[in-house]
Amino acid sequence: MDSLDEKEKLFRISLECYLEALNGVEEHVLRAFAEKLAERPPTLEPHKRDLMKDPRRDTFEAARMHLASSLAEASAMMKTRLAGTVELGEMLNLLSQTTANLRASGQRAENRMTGLGQGLAQAAQLEDINEFRDRVRGELGRLNAMIAEMREENLQLVSGLESEMASYRRKLDDAERRANLDALTGLPNRRYFEANLADFFNAGTPFCLLLLDLTRFKSINDSYGHLVGDEILRAFSEKLRACVRKEDLAARWGGDEFVVVLPCGLKESVLRSRQFEEKLTGLYTIQLDGAVHRLRIGVAIGIAEHRTGDTVAQLLARADALLYAAKNQR
């Protein structure tokens, strides 16, 4: 009976190894994807509890089927939420390979445990104590070998998965960063600006919104071409980046318009806008295709102070009206 107790103990250890692999999938695949996509992650918890409570063939099969379904759900979330933002083919290949590896690992563990159960059932039918003892010793040897192999498989599987997920996270972070930047100027884009403007509304502290527009830009585009215009926008963006502080929020709004949020009252914002105008106005030297162009660029600025109860649309409308007035004065 001591041998049977030991065998039961080792069986439980092998089951724990299998459950550890499921934990790795939950943490490094399902939860990681869901966190990136701001979704509720699928869970394997009920099936893990069933396996711990009653590790029969049908509970293993149910857990395996639910795992495949959860991975498919993670794949669907990626397709829906990240389309056009990341290289989905590579990410879906990772999911597909992970699914195949886990399905194979789960099937092997299930087959081993089924065989172990059959061996125990056969041993229980033996009447000769010596033959019974020999059979149990043989099953113990099989179980020890199975546990060692499962541990090694789990270590390799989780290690490989962690490596792949680390690579995935780096690529996804880079894709998210690029998705928030304007491709031409490298400044944050309108999408990023609109997503982060709410922070200033929620802070409950004074702030002002500035809309900036390059003067003479259309005539430069018409006279020198869009390539020169693009270089002007890049140079202007570099100057603007040097003007803003880390607590400010600056972005390209679209075309030759830029937007800046300053976390201060109207008086200080007016002073800073004058500094912006001084640093952004002047001659821009553009070298393109062997030609050097020295072009004078000005900037018009509309400033709107946030008022209690303002909506984003109201604040932008006031800034736009003041920008229009500033442009007409030039």
Indicate whether 185 belongs to any domain. no
Instruction: Tell me, yes or no, whether 324 lies in a domain.
Output: yes
Tell me, yes or no, whether 263 lies in a domain: yes
- What confidence tens digit (pLDDT) does each residue in 189-231 have? 999 999 999 999 999 899 999 999 999 898 998 899 889 999 9
Considering the domain architecture, whether residues 296 and 194 belong to the same structural domain is answered as yes
Report the chain's mean pLDDT, rounded to a whole number. Answer: 77
For residues 173 and 100, the model is more confident at 173
Question: Cα-flanking dihedrals φ and ψ of residue 95, to 5°?
Answer: -60, -45
Helix axes 57-82, 2-25, angle to 10 degrees: 10
C-alpha span between 306 and 208 (Å, rounded): 6
Q: What is the pLDDT of residue 173?
A: 72
Kindly state whether residues 115 and 208 are assigned to the same domain.
no
Strands of the 208-215 sheet, one edge to the other = 249-254, 257-262, 208-215, 291-305, 282-288
Q: For residue 302, what pLDDT is reported?
A: 97
Full-model pTM:
0.55
Q: Are residues 160 and 216 in the same domain?
A: no
167 in a structural domain: yes
Of 179, 199, 233, which residue is a domain's last? 179
What pLDDT is recorded for position 199? 92
Q: Predicted confidence band at 252 (pLDDT cuts at 50, 70, 90)?
A: very high
pLDDT band at 300 (very low <50, low <70, confident <90, very high): very high
Residue 250 near residue 259 (C-beta atoms within 8 A): yes
Distance between CA 217 and CA 229 in Å, rounded?
7
DSSP code per residue over 127-190:
--HHHHHHHHHHHHHHHHHHHHHHHHHHHHHHHHHHHHHHHHHHHHHHHHHHHTB-TTT-SB-H
Q: Which amino acid is at 8?
A: E
For the chain, the domain total comes to 2
Sign of CA dihedral 264, 267, 268, 274: positive
Per the domain annotation, does 220 fall within a domain?
yes
Same domain, 124 and 61: yes
Instruction: Give percent of the chain with pLDDT exceeding 70.
Output: 54
Name every residue whose Cβ is closer than 8 Å to that of residue 242 and which is 6 or more positions away in sequence. 279
Task: Let me know whether 35 and 128 are in one domain.
Answer: yes
- Domain residues for the domain of 6 are 2-179
What contacts 40, CB < 8 A, 6 or more positions away? 34
User: What is the longest distance spanned by two Cα atoms in the chain?
Assistant: 108
User: 178 with 192: CB under 8 angstroms?
Assistant: no
Q: Say whether both 175 and 194 belong to one domain.
A: no
Give the pLDDT confidence score for residue 66 in this predicted structure. 66
CA contacts within 13 A on the Cβ side of 71:
24
Q: What is the spatial distance between Cα 257 and Cα 251, in angstroms, rounded to a whole number?
A: 9
Is residue 98 assigned to a domain?
yes
Domain assignment present for residue 276? The answer is: yes
| pLDDT recorded at residue 158 | 62
Q: Is the pLDDT of residue 312 over 90?
A: yes
- Of 146, 179, 212, the residue at which a domain comes to its end is 179
Task: Say which residue, 250 or 129, is predicted with more confidence.
Answer: 250
Task: For residues 133 and 89, state if they share a domain.
Answer: yes
In the prediction, which pLDDT does 54 show?
73
Is residue 184 included in any domain, yes or no? no
pLDDT per position as a tens digit, 14-44? 667 677 777 766 666 666 665 655 556 666 6
Q: What is the pLDDT of residues 157-184, one digit of tens each?
A: 666 666 766 776 677 677 777 888 998 9
pLDDT value at 110 more than 50: yes
* End-of-domain residue from the set 119, 150, 179: 179
Query: Does residue 47 sit in the same domain as residue 168?
Result: yes
Q: What pLDDT shows up at residue 233?
A: 96
256 and 131 share one domain: no
Instruction: Please indicate, yes or no, whether residues 145 and 222 belong to a single structural domain of this protein.
Output: no
Whether residue 101 is predicted with pLDDT greater than 80 in this model: the reply is no
Q: Are 149 and 66 in the same domain? A: yes
Domain check: are 154 and 54 in the same one?
A: yes
